[in-house]
Amino acid sequence: MLDVVVIGGGPAGLSAAYKLKQADLRIVVLEAQDRVGGRTLTQPVDVGQGKTEMFDLGGQWVGSSQKHVMDMLRELDLETYPQYTTGTKVMQIGLDNEVRTYSSDIPPLGSLRGLIEFQLFLWRVERMAAQTPIQDPYRSPHAKELDGHTVDTFARKHSHTLAFSKGTDATRISAMFFLAYSNAAGGVMKILEAKKDCAQEARVKGGTQQISQLLAERLGKEVVLLSHPVIRVDQTTENVKVTTENGKTFVARRVIVTAPPNMINKMEFLPPLPPYKKLIYENLPVGHLIKFLVVYEKAFWREKGFSGEVVSNGGNERLPKGVSCGPLSVCFDATTPGGTAAIVGFIAARQGVEWQGKTHEERKTAVLEGLAATLGSEGRDCVSYTEKIWAEEPYVGGCPVVFGVPGTMYAFPHLRLPHDRVHFAGTETSTEWTGFISGAIQSGQRAATEVLKNLRPEMVSEDDLKGTCYDPESLPGDYKTNQRLHSDTYKMLLIVAVIIVFIAVVYAMQL
Ligand SMILES: Cc1cc2nc3c(=O)[nH]c(=O)nc-3n(C[C@H](O)[C@H](O)[C@H](O)COP(=O)(O)OP(=O)(O)OC[C@H]3O[C@@H](n4cnc5c(N)ncnc54)[C@H](O)[C@@H]3O)c2cc1C
């Protein structure tokens, strides 16, 4: 029998397994796909002259404020290099599809009044985000107001000028989720920017999938089992029995589930998941991103004084039938440390859905047209165009993360809570940099600590338990209340029992 089965071989699952292995536990990692890495994927890309170089088609950037991933990179001897940001940025976000340049942190939005209003709105959002913890967004003083709003309706309430492009899911995402998610990263601007401490600060030499590949290498082939999709987790017996699609069963004392929430929803749990957990899994739509990478002979945008950063509503250059705007949402310079010139970009949210229905050639032509319109006509002449449609990845189903919808955020913290002997990790369950690789690592290490508390209690200190399900401070408010109610009930029962025994003893002595 095993000590622990870890489900999922992405950054969360492998970080959990690595920590458990160091405690000398008998473990296996069951990964559905024929590779590790999950939503990180580093692939060889054609760079011309018959050569290829490795580029990230999934999670890519890291930042120095992302403690967990930076520690892990050090542990694995992986290096980072800064994101190129020198020069002006380009935007195409007005109704007129006009291309403009800017150097400030936020794109200038037309009139001075618009700019002032947007800045005030941003300050309000940063302030409210700081009061909305991902541990339990309902601790926010604005909880009642926020749970009913989407990001779009919330923005309209507080700003007359703000409009979101189809490259965002603003009309679907809960305002409360957005604020809590931003708070977990240290603020909204931290998520959007490429400066120090921000989400797009640096890239990993050789790619981020190496994190999972190196961890899997250290764990060994006999521990990390590929092509083992889990279909059932049964804890109706003495130990937990995990069944895979290929008919194998693994019995363990504890299980850690790290598959993305939209995939957990497809597994069978016996006994079934508790109501709050079930509710939240059924109400977490997954984002939609097509990531593309365009390699060029030279970084022509740098020569023109552009940083390569583009924010776009897609524009309307030569659109094929069936799409309402062009594909570009956001782009960055992706030139390698060795000097291979490249632009990385995203076709996001509704733009992604519309363009997924087009052919590879149609998307390629439209992306190059978009780059020509925003960065210069040289954008049409590329060495290669590579793309990854994440919605088509069978055990991921979309990306970068799932998001909360209005009216259900009270159940969100229950993602993190265990179901008896089954613990849950994955970036969506983290409390620092939720949704990022760093969050995934934090969550895996946290779930491993929860397991150690049960299987190797002597190895776990009070301090280690901070942020786990054994730390009352990290539990959602309603759960804590229930726990307190339970413990109050137990206390009452105990007192009644003592009184009954006392009366019985006194009565017996009188006889
Ligand atoms: C296009 C894109 C861009 C991104 N950009 C960034 C970025 O720049 N920086 C950043 O930090 N993050 C980024 N992310 C997010 C980052 O990649 C994720 O946060 C991270 O990979 C999550 O790790 P995880 O282990 O929680 O989940 P995953 O990486 O999704 O791993 C979960 C694993 O579970 C497996 N699985 C699913 N179902 C089953 C099953 N039934 N049985 C067994 N295994 C199963 C999956 O195959 C997968 O390998 C991006 C993601 C994408 C896709």
Name residue 61's amino acid: W
Residue 446 lies in a domain: yes
Instruction: Using the 3D structure, point to which of 162, 192, 222 is the last residue of a domain.
Output: 192
What's the token pair of residue 495? 């007192």
pLDDT at 485: 43
d(CA 27, CA 251) in angstroms, rounded, equals: 10
Q: Does the beta carbon of 390 sit less than 6 angstroms from any atom of ligand 1?
A: yes
State pLDDT tens for residues 9-42. 999 999 999 999 999 999 999 999 999 999 999 9
247/183 same-domain check: no
Residue 471 lies in a domain: no
CATH number for the domain including 245? 3.50.50.60
Q: Look at the chain and count its residues.
A: 511
Q: Does the beta carbon of 30 sit less than 6 angstroms from any atom of ligand 1?
A: yes
420/276 same-domain check: yes
CATH number for the domain including 337? 3.90.660.10
Comparing C-alpha atoms, which of 443, 405, 450 is closest to residue 137? 405
What is the average per-residue pLDDT within 310-336? Answer: 91
What is the average per-residue pLDDT within 264-281? Answer: 95
Residue 160 lies in a domain: yes
321/362 same-domain check: yes
Contacts of 115 (CB under 8 A, 6+ apart): 108, 109
Q: Report the residue among 14, 29, 40 best suited for mutation to probe ligand 1: largest number of ligand atoms under 8 A from its CB.
A: 40
List the domain range (segments joined by +) for residue 494.
479-510
Q: Does the beta carbon of 437 sit less than 6 angstroms from any atom of ligand 1?
A: yes
| HSE-up of residue 115 (Cα within 13 Å, Cβ side) | 10
Q: Does the beta carbon of 427 sit less than 6 angstroms from any atom of ligand 1?
A: yes
Instruction: Using the 3D structure, point to which of 337, 357, 392 is the last residue of a domain.
Output: 392
Q: In ligand 1, which atom is closest to the CA atom of 433? A: 11
CATH number for the domain including 133? 1.10.405.10
356 C-alpha to ligand 1 centroid (Å): 20
| HSE-up of residue 473 (Cα within 13 Å, Cβ side) | 6
Q: Does the beta carbon of 33 sit less than 6 angstroms from any atom of ligand 1?
A: yes
pLDDT at 422: 98
> Sorting pLDDT into bands at 50, 70 and 90, what band is 484?
very low
d(CA 64, CA 35) in angstroms, rounded, equals: 28
263 C-alpha to ligand 1 centroid (Å): 11
Q: Is the pLDDT of residue 64 over 50?
A: yes
Q: Does the beta carbon of 32 sit less than 6 angstroms from any atom of ligand 1?
A: yes
Q: In ligand 1, which atom is closest to the CA atom of 438? A: 11
387/435 same-domain check: no
Q: Does the beta carbon of 426 sit less than 6 angstroms from any atom of ligand 1?
A: yes
Instruction: Using the 3D structure, point to which of 136, 166, 192 is the last residue of a domain.
Output: 192
pLDDT at 200: 96
Residue 74 lies in a domain: no
pLDDT at 480: 56
Contact 47, 198 (CB under 8 A): no
Q: Does residue 44 sit in helix, strand or coil?
A: strand
State pLDDT tens for residues 441-474. 999 999 999 999 999 999 999 999 999 999 988 8
d(CA 243, CA 255) in angstroms, rounded, equals: 12
pLDDT at 315: 87
Q: Does residue 401 sit in helix, strand or coil?
A: coil
d(CA 16, CA 6) in angstroms, rounded, equals: 8
Q: Is the pLDDT of residue 110 over 80?
A: no
Q: Is the pLDDT of residue 211 over 90?
A: yes
pLDDT at 431: 96
377/435 same-domain check: no
Q: Does residue 54 sit in helix, strand or coil?
A: strand
337/374 same-domain check: yes
Categorise residue 435: left if φ over 0, alpha if ψ from -120 to 50, beta otherwise: left
Q: Does the beta carbon of 137 sit less than 6 angstroms from any atom of ligand 1?
A: no
Q: Does residue 214 sit in helix, strand or coil?
A: helix
pLDDT at 31: 98
Contact 248, 228 (CB under 8 A): yes
**Least confident span in 425-429, 484-488, 500-504:** 484-488
Residue 78 lies in a domain: no
Residue 65 lies in a domain: no
136/54 same-domain check: no
276/292 same-domain check: no
Q: Does the beta carbon of 345 sit less than 6 angstroms from any atom of ligand 1?
A: no
pLDDT at 511: 65
164/219 same-domain check: no
pLDDT at 167: 66
Q: Is the pLDDT of residue 482 over 60?
A: no
303 C-alpha to ligand 1 centroid (Å): 36
CA 79 and chain centroid, separation: 22
Residue 92 lies in a domain: no
Percentage of the chain modeled with pLDDT above 90: 77
Q: Does residue 433 sit in helix, strand or coil?
A: coil
353/299 same-domain check: yes
Comparing C-alpha atoms, which of 425, 439, 416 is closest to residue 68? 439
Q: Does the beta carbon of 10 sit less than 6 angstroms from any atom of ligand 1?
A: yes
Q: Does the beta carbon of 45 sit less than 6 angstroms from any atom of ligand 1?
A: no
449/486 same-domain check: no
What is the average per-residue pLDDT within 115-127? Answer: 86
State pLDDT tens for residues 407-422. 999 999 999 999 999 9
What's the token pair of residue 325? 């705007």
422/372 same-domain check: no
Residue 136 lies in a domain: yes
Number of domains in the chain: 4
